[in-house]
Structure 1
Amino acid sequence: MGVHTETNEYPSPISSSRLFKALVVDDSNLIPKLLPHAVKSIELIQGDGGAGSIKQLNFIEGSQVKSVKNRIDEINEDTFTYSYTLIEGESLKDKFASIAHEIKFEAAPDGGSISKVTSKYYLNGDVEINEEDIKASKEKVLGIYKVVEAYLLQNPAVYA
């Protein structure tokens, strides 16, 4: 089993604490509210929301992906770090055993933040990595990020 690692940084005018609260702590409420055309619900199906818990993202009827399950590996509200592993769902296809994401929201000098994301794609057997699969996955996540960012810009008191 091979591993393909990608690291990306995303600057934002939103503070680390607000992004962390919106994208991590309250994702199950906020994401379906902001993206009702894509995300039906986010449910905690095992655990208390801490490390070892399992969250299931359910997508709307007719989506290419019905649902995915993520295992929370770390959540730290003091350091604004969050790690999770996609462990089940159609988006793994037959190519990936799992996909692990480590996210750190860091303060930027201008008062905003920089989200540092490291993703590790654990490949099944001798599967060759397809850059288009990686690119499509990153674009979906970045799309959610941008929707949340726009919402927070329009609502400066939310998660303040």
Structure 2
Amino acid sequence: MGVTIFTQEFTTPIAPPRMFKALIVDSHNLIPKIAPQGIKSIEFLKGDGRAGSIKYILIKGNVIFDKIEKVIYEVQFLALGNCGCICKMTNEYHTKGDVQLNEEDIKQRKEEAMGLYKVVEEFLLANPNAYD
């Protein structure tokens, strides 16, 4: 099994608790509403959304996942002064067999992740009372 790890980060004017609630805690409700073109389904494999819950997210039209055994996502929302945060993401892809992800696969995943985070950020900016 091959392992590919990539990290990325971005700065947002949204406070860490709001980003966490929208992107992590309530993603199964919010993301299908604001980005239905990108998500096929989201279901809980374990838990009910609280700490320790495990969600299974199926992304539409993403052939990269034919190569993937499992993915581990780590996301941190670090406070940035009095407002906003730095969002740090680490994605660890475990491929099937000896398959290696190529640069185009990695670039595609980074763009998809950033696109989703930006859509959520735009939603929160347009709805300042959401996820307070």
TM-score (structure 1 length as normaliser): 0.71
| Offset from partner CA, 1:100-143 (integer Å, 9 cap, x none) | 11111000125110011111222333323301101111111111
Counterpart of 1:120 in 2: which secondary structure? strand
Supply the distance in 2 between the matched residues of 1:39 and 1:2 (Cα, whole angstroms).
26
CA RMSD of aligned residues (A): 2.1
Q: Which of 65, 89, 96 does residue 92 from structure 1 map onto?
A: 65
Partner residue in 2 for 1:23 = 23
Q: Gaps spanning 5+ residues in structure 2: where? A: none
Supply the distance in 2 between the matched residues of 1:58 and 1:7 (Cα, whole angstroms).
21
TM-score (structure 2 length as normaliser): 0.84
Of Structure 1 and Structure 2, the greater helix share is in 2
Counterpart of 2:72 in 1: which secondary structure? strand
Supply the distance in 1 between the matched residues of 2:110 and 2:39 (Cα, whole angstroms).
17
- Misfit runs of 4+, over 4 Å: none
Please say if 1:13 is aligned against 2:13: yes
Please list, as runs of the form range in 1=range in 2, the aligned pairs for 1:122-137 lying within 5 A after superposition: 122-137=94-109
Flag the structure with more relative contact order, 1 or 2, with Cα contacts below 8 A and sequence separation at least 6: 2
- Structure 1 pair 37/7, CA: closer, same or farther in 2 (3 Å)? closer
Q: What is the CA distance between 1:35 and its match in structure 2?
A: 1.4
Of Structure 1 and Structure 2, the greater strand share is in 1
- Paired residues, number: 131
| Offset from partner CA, 1:27-57 (integer Å, 9 cap, x none) | 1111111113333542224433342x44233
